[in-house]
Amino acid sequence: MDAIHIRGGKALFGETKIQGSKNAVLPVMAAALMIKDVCIIENCPRISDVYHMQQLLTGIGCRVTHIGHTLTIDARNIFEDTMSGDNVTGMRSSITLLGAMLGRVGEVTMAYPGGCVIGERPIDLHLNALRRMGVVIYEKDGGFTARVKELEGAVIHLPVSSVGATENVLLAAVMAKGVTVIQNAAKEPEIITLCEFLRQSGAVIEGIGGSVLIIQGRHELHGTCFTVPADRIVAGTYLMSVLGTGGHIFLEDAPAEQMRSVLQIAEEIGGEIHISREGVDIIAGEHKRALPYVKTEVYPGFPTDMQSPLMSVLTTAEGISIIEETIFEDRFRILEQLKKMGAGIERKGKRQAVISGVDFLLGCEVTAQELRGGAALVIAGCMAFGETVVRNPCFIERGYEDICRDYRNLGADIYIG
């Protein structure tokens, strides 16, 4: 079984280029399904989630090619409306194809989506919102069928500012009759990217970047060439790494504007940040300061995807830190793995972790259980003395194109084998 091997305990120096965004490219791929034309997506990361989405699109009739970092999707001929198997159950983002398929063919049968086990993440928000647009849902063991004769625009208030639900309603609304208003829409950069792709393809969308989106449906969509922005979570992961190990790194193309909350936390820990048009430069502080209290929030707050990487860094900070997780109730799965390395962490209720900084971590064998927690274990391995072996790298490969390559660019002693 493959594993990531890290000989840690040394500072990181160097530079690496940040890949295209996983969370942005997947809904863009779903949107391309609705366009009876050819779309070219540049700066597409070569990660397993993209591969799974590619397989889903191919399975329903799209012609998809992925050469280098250019993805071409030809969705002129769709012949299937059923999606099941590992490509659906293994990837949460497959749910985004729900709105796209309803917009394109008016019917879809899906297995319930899977992905990382970090909480319940119910899809009720998606289904209830689509019902407001005339969709009928037939639920059955392990999946459901959604049908609509004609999508109707509606005023939809999302009780929770959900990224996935916003994406699904947005995709359906582009093909719906009339005007759709999404209230309490998610404002994450990935939503903005999806709106920009749709608008570049001919859709009419107002309020981009705000909490209210207004979509005028049924405008003719056409093929386009679109460039995916850099991945803010990958950039944040590598930024946290140098804060944990010490050193000085440069992250080429890191999207600083999307990372304000992460950069602020980095400075509070003791890092020195320099932003330029080319990327972000990070110099680790001589001492890591604890954070008395930090909580995850919807954008522009501190992202839940960065919570586990931050926890790894704080294991050797001077003092006691408290992290509150407000998005996913089971994001603390990494806790026991870090404790195996010598970290002083305790749960406080279901939503808080109290981290008492220790002098150092010790390398050992640990197991990734989800995507961002797996990346955080790589951070801990870079910080720890001795060798760390991270099992289940398949989780990490869902979102990081080549994490070992990138860390080697930063001077880490790391390989997979």
Enumerate the domain spans of the chain. 3-16+231-416
Prediction pTM value: 0.94
Q: What is the spatial distance between Cα 217 and Cα 82, in angstroms, rounded to a whole number? A: 25
- Say what the pLDDT of residue 92 is: 53
Strand spans (E) along 163-261: 179-183, 204-206, 212-216, 225-227, 247-252
- Beta carbons of 53 and 29 less than 8 angstroms apart: yes
- Beta carbons of 214 and 206 less than 8 angstroms apart: yes
Q: What is the spatial distance between Cα 257 and Cα 232, in angstroms, rounded to a whole number? A: 9
C-alpha to C-alpha distances, 105 to 101, 111, 395, nearest whole angstrom: 6, 18, 32
For residue 209 the two structure tokens come to 């970047």
Active-site residue flag, 116: yes
Q: Max Cα separation, the chain? A: 63
Can you identify the CATH homologous superfamily of domain 3-16+231-416?
Enolpyruvate transferase domain (3.65.10.10)
Q: What is the spatial distance between Cα 379 and Cα 362, in angstroms, rounded to a whole number? A: 12
pLDDT string in tens for the chain (417-residue length): 699 999 999 999 999 999 999 999 999 999 999 999 999 999 999 999 999 999 989 988 999 999 999 999 999 998 866 655 444 444 455 788 899 999 999 988 887 765 444 344 468 889 999 999 999 998 887 778 889 999 999 999 999 999 999 999 999 999 999 999 999 999 999 999 999 999 999 999 999 999 999 999 999 999 999 999 999 999 999 999 999 999 999 999 999 999 999 999 999 999 999 999 999 999 999 999 999 999 999 999 999 999 999 999 999 999 999 999 999 777 788 999 999 999 999 999 889 999 999 999 999 999 999 999 999 999 999 999 999 999 999 999 999 999 999 999 999 999 999
- Say what the pLDDT of residue 117 is: 40
- Say what the pLDDT of residue 329 is: 74
Candidate list 116, 195, 382, 404, residue with the active-site label: 116
